[in-house]
Structure 1
Amino acid sequence: MGRLLQTAMAEAAGGACAAVLAESVLYAVDSAKVRAQALEIAGASNWKILFRGMVPTIALGSVPVFGSFFFCFAPMKVKLQDYDWEVLIPCASAICAVPATLVGVPADVLKKRLVLGIDANAGKAISHILSVQGWRGFFFGWHVNLIKDLPFAGVKIGFYEMFVSQWRAWHGLPKSEAMSPSGAAFCGVASGIACGILTCPLDVINTRIKADSSSRSILHVASSILQTEGVAAFFRGVAMRSFVLAVGSSIFWPIQHGVSSQLQA
């Protein structure tokens, strides 16, 4: 139990630290992706709007999301590897995405309102949400986040672990040997691109629902997009999304591995 707790805490710290840097570097690109996915954008457009809400979104979203995810995921991964059940790692990551996603919904709601120009700053966004919807407004569209993030986590971790396995086999490395920063970065890029393309439709639906508080049904939004804009609309912003996930993963994984390894040394 002590070993698992130490692993969980170290991996969580690594995930939180890596998230801060990766999200900070790519925040504006991800904001541009959100604006590309939205049907309507409020207010004037300028480069500054791409950075709206960066500090509260990362502090209240990325840090607790990735910290809680790895705190749950790390010990499960260890036990699955102990019993040679690595094939179940994607399922474990999807399960661990449930609490992590729910923790991050308020920050996701806040970011989309800010970068889409619905509110001018975080204070006004919070005030507006509380006055119109109450505290439940911060969890608006939580079901969409879950439906999006569960397969996202499974696909992303599944692809990453697959590429890691192939990388180890190609270089003749044992499972016990830590991944090099270059290896982790390469596997992160490959998994990020694959995940960005496969999960883009769910990301588009999530953006549309967050941008319009009257859109509550996932099926209704998906049907509306299909009928009025066609299949191509489900892949709006796919290039930027794939870029964010690819570059973000190339930054994230080496740092996550490095920090967690140092804390467990």
Structure 2
Amino acid sequence: MGPLLQTATSEALGGACAGVVADSVLYAVDSAKVRAQTTPAASGGWKILFRGLVPTITLGSVPIFGSFFFCFALVKTKLLEQKQDALLPFAAAACAVPATLVGVPADVLKKRLVLGIDPNVAKAFSHILSEQGWRGLFAGWHVNLVKDIPFAGVKIGFYEAFVSQWRAWNGLSSKEALGAQGAAICGIASGVACGVLTCPLDVVNTRIKASATPSRSILQVGRHMLKTEGVFAFFRGVAMRSFVLAVGSSIFWPIQHGVSCHLNGNT
């Protein structure tokens, strides 16, 4: 295995491991955010917040973060070699496309489960396939792309900028390990900013996947929300979303860096 492929594989495994841990820890909080984004708010006991945890994490977090970091590592290495750091946000946005698409089915399943539309994964699959066919598993895929592409670009852009500043403040070279504290602080800052900026599209995404509206058009759903609920509807669950991303990032980045560095022998 060549050095570049080894680096990409290590980054992918680090991303997958970090995604599983972070998403598992914050699964219930994210579920509560999803439920807060519906109108009226979905009913159900606290146990529903954990519904579908294992299958959706397995089908979502692992392939999403694994594929993203594999692709991003390849592109990032080349850009840094050519001293094109400014293009990293655009590279992240491009790498978010395959990562987003592979994770849409898990996103659809989770929203249906935690909103109480279906009692378990088997029923969810059955209902989706009988009512909408295989296309139902990719409901709202366009919303995911519109949301995740800028999200990835902005988040990675902020993160890399904070990392650069952290290295400068602490006298670290670009080849030295960032450290768990630095990774956590930089992740929190970038996560909160992205949580607020992408909340409107996240709300629209939830409405579409929950079949809370007959339309699958981002613009039509957005216009309907604005007309019937006002602008604040686009920021339903923003506090929980920001909390999830902030805490999740403080968990995610140290693990991702730690695993990838260990596999690369840069401990």
The answer to whether TM tops 0.5 is yes
Alignment partner, residue 49 of structure 2: 50
Bigger Cα displacement from structure 2, 248-257 vs 163-172: 163-172
What is the DSSP-based 3-state SS (H/G/I as helix, E as strand, rest coil) of the residue aligned with 2:26?
Answer: helix
Give the partner amino acid of 2:22: A
Give the partner amino acid of 1:54: L
Is residue 195 from structure 1 mapped to residue 211 from structure 2 by the alignment?
no
Give the partner amino acid of 1:252: F
CA distance in 2, matches of 1:36, 1:121: 20
Q: TM-score, normalised by structure 1?
A: 0.97
What do residues 107-166 of structure 1 show as CA deviations (whole Å, max 9, x unaligned)? Answer: 000000001111111111011011111111101111111111100100111111111111
Is residue 30 from structure 1 mapped to residue 40 from structure 2 by the alignment?
no
CA distance in 2, matches of 1:59, 1:176: 32
CA distance in 1, matches of 2:209, 2:191: 24
CA distance in 2, matches of 1:150, 1:17: 22
CA distance in 2, matches of 1:261, 1:143: 34
CA distance in 2, matches of 1:200, 1:136: 25
What is the DSSP-based 3-state SS (H/G/I as helix, E as strand, rest coil) of the residue aligned with 1:251?
Answer: helix
Give the partner amino acid of 1:66: F
What is the DSSP-based 3-state SS (H/G/I as helix, E as strand, rest coil) of the residue aligned with 1:203?
Answer: helix
Alignment partner, residue 17 of structure 1: 17
CA distance in 2, matches of 1:237, 1:169: 35
Alignment partner, residue 232 of structure 1: 232
Give the partner amino acid of 2:253: W
Alignment partner, residue 128 of structure 1: 127
What do residues 61-107 of structure 1 show as CA deviations (whole Å, max 9, x unaligned)? Answer: 01100000001000111111111101000000000000000000000
Alignment partner, residue 155 of structure 2: 156
CA distance in 2, matches of 1:71, 1:171: 28
CA distance in 2, matches of 1:179, 1:150: 26
**Would the aligned equivalents of 1:60 and 1:107 in 2 still touch at CA under 8 Å?**
yes
CA distance in 2, matches of 1:170, 1:208: 43
Q: How many residues of Structure 1 are paired with residues of Structure 2 in the alignment? A: 264
What is the DSSP-based 3-state SS (H/G/I as helix, E as strand, rest coil) of the residue aligned with 1:259?
Answer: helix
CA-CA distance at 1:41 after TM superposition: 4.9
Give the partner amino acid of 1:111: K
Superposed counterparts of 1:94-243, under 5 Å: 94-212=93-211, 214-243=214-243
What is the DSSP-based 3-state SS (H/G/I as helix, E as strand, rest coil) of the residue aligned with 2:157?
Answer: helix
Alignment partner, residue 74 of structure 2: 75
Q: TM-score, normalised by structure 2?
A: 0.97
CA-CA distance at 1:178 after TM superposition: 1.2
What do residues 39-59 of structure 1 show as CA deviations (whole Å, max 9, x unaligned)? Answer: 2455x4110010011111100
What do residues 230-249 of structure 1 show as CA deviations (whole Å, max 9, x unaligned)? Answer: 11111110110000000000
What do residues 170-207 of structure 1 show as CA deviations (whole Å, max 9, x unaligned)? Answer: 11211111101000001011111111011111101101
**Would the aligned equivalents of 1:110 and 1:122 in 2 still touch at CA under 8 Å?**
yes
CA distance in 1, matches of 2:116, 2:137: 17
Bigger Cα displacement from structure 2, 107-116 vs 168-177: 168-177
CA-CA distance at 1:228 after TM superposition: 1.1
CA distance in 1, matches of 2:104, 2:25: 21
Alignment partner, residue 3 of structure 1: 3
**Would the aligned equivalents of 1:33 and 1:241 in 2 still touch at CA under 8 Å?**
yes
Bigger Cα displacement from structure 2, 170-179 vs 84-93: 170-179
Give the partner amino acid of 1:160: Y
Deviating beyond 6 angstroms after TM superposition, the runs of 4 or more aligned structure 1 residues are none
Give the partner amino acid of 1:140: A
CA distance in 1, matches of 2:81, 2:63: 28
Alignment partner, residue 254 of structure 2: 254
